């Protein structure tokens, strides 16, 4: 069974630029999560999708972050414009309802 | 609201020694508790989880954890450390199996030969 795929693995941008991350969850997993992991901290939820609907985006900085999950499969997370404090690893996870979350390898973003 | 506190940002043990990583949680509902391991430049891998039932949970790679409701703890142990156990370990809590995880800050485990 293929795992959660994320791309790119690494991204370096300058502040005020835009960036987008892509996630392909495990086939059949209806629930998809995006977490932000700042260096030295545990992951923090940004947004949760159930199929193509948003369940929880209370911690998403909506003035600069956006996310979508078209057709209830792949998802993209966008930051526009990026700030220095957005430097982090962005983790995507997916799960079947009521079961374990499987994490992708993450995208490491560096904002200069 | 839920939260997790991991005592000790860095733990160092000798190879073959006992591994003990501490985790205390706060939850207003019966918690689901998890331990994840993260190797450098990799995602998180589930070590073990507690949902209901037996309070002593066994996971992969010889790790186990015990849910103690009275102490609000879920400490991770392994009888004998191996060099390959060196990694970052995260304790997490959720309200159910389909809700987001709330993570602690992590504990980096070093294993000395």
pLDDT tens by residue, chain B, 113 residues:
899 999 999 999 999 999 999 999 998 888 999 999 999 888 899 999 999 889 999 999 999 999 999 999 999 999 999 999 999 999 999 988 778 999 999 999 999 99
Q: Which pair of structure tokens corresponds to residue B21? A: 């990583």
Q: Do A42 and B100 touch (CB under 8 A)?
A: no
| Chain B: residue whose CA lies nearest to A56 | B100
Rg (chain A; Cα; Å): 13
CA dist., res. B45 & res. A69, Å (int) = 24
What's the distance, CA B50 to chain centroid? 11
The widest CA-to-CA distance across chain B, in whole angstroms, is: 42
The conformation of residue A72, written as its DSSP 8-state character, comes to G
CA dist., res. B33 & res. B55, Å (int) = 11
| Chain A: residue whose CA lies nearest to B39 | A105
What integer pLDDT is reported at residue B46 of this predicted model? 94
Give the one of A95, A98, A105 whose C-beta lies nearest to B43's C-beta.
Answer: A105
Å between A46 CA and nearest CA of chain B: 10
What integer pLDDT is reported at residue B28 of this predicted model? 85
Q: Which pair of structure tokens corresponds to residue B38? A: 């993260």
What integer pLDDT is reported at residue B8 of this predicted model? 92
Q: Do A40 and B42 touch (CB under 8 A)?
A: no
What integer pLDDT is reported at residue B1 of this predicted model? 82
Q: How far separated are the first and last CA of chain B, in Å rounded? A: 41
| Chain B: residue whose CA lies nearest to A38 | B105
CA dist., res. B50 & res. B69, Å (int) = 12
Q: Which pair of structure tokens corresponds to residue B88? A: 């970052």
What integer pLDDT is reported at residue A96 of this predicted model? 87
How sure is the predictor about A1, in pLDDT bands with cuts at 50, 70 and 90? low
Q: Is the pLDDT of residue A72 over 90?
A: no
How sure is the predictor about A104, in pLDDT bands with cuts at 50, 70 and 90? very high
Query: CB pairs below 8 Å between A and B: how many?
Result: 55
Please, which residues have CB within 8 angstroms of residue A56's CB and are 6 or more apart in sequence? A45, A47, A48, B100
């Amino acid at each position: 069974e293929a795992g959660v795929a994320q791309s790119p693995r690494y991204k370096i941008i300058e502040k005020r630029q835009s960036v987008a991350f892509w996630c392909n969850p495990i086939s059949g997993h209806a629930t998809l999560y995006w977490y932000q992991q700042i260096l030295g901290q545990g992951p923090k939820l940004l947004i949760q999708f159930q199929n193509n609907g948003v369940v929880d985006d209370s911690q998403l900085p909506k003035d600069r972050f956006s996310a979508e999950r078209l057709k209830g499969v792949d998802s993209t997370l966008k930051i526009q414009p990026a700030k220095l404090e957005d430097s982090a690893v962005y983790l995507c996870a997916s799960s079947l309802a009521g079961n374990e979350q499987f994490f992708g390898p993450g995208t490491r973003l560096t904002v200069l | 609201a839920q939260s997790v506190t991991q005592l000790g940002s860095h733990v160092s043990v000798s190879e073959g020694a006992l591994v003990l990583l501490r985790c205390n949680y706060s939850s207003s509902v019966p918690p689901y508790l998890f331990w994840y391991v993260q190797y450098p430049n990799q995602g998180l891998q589930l070590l073990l989880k507690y949902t209901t039932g037996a309070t002593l949970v066994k996971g992969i790679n010889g790790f186990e954890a015990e849910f103690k409701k009275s102490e609000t703890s879920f400490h991770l142990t392994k009888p004998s450390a191996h060099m390959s156990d060196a990694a970052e370990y995260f304790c997490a809590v959720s309200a159910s199996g389909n809700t987001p995880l709330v993570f602690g800050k992590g504990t980096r485990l070093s294993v000395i030969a």
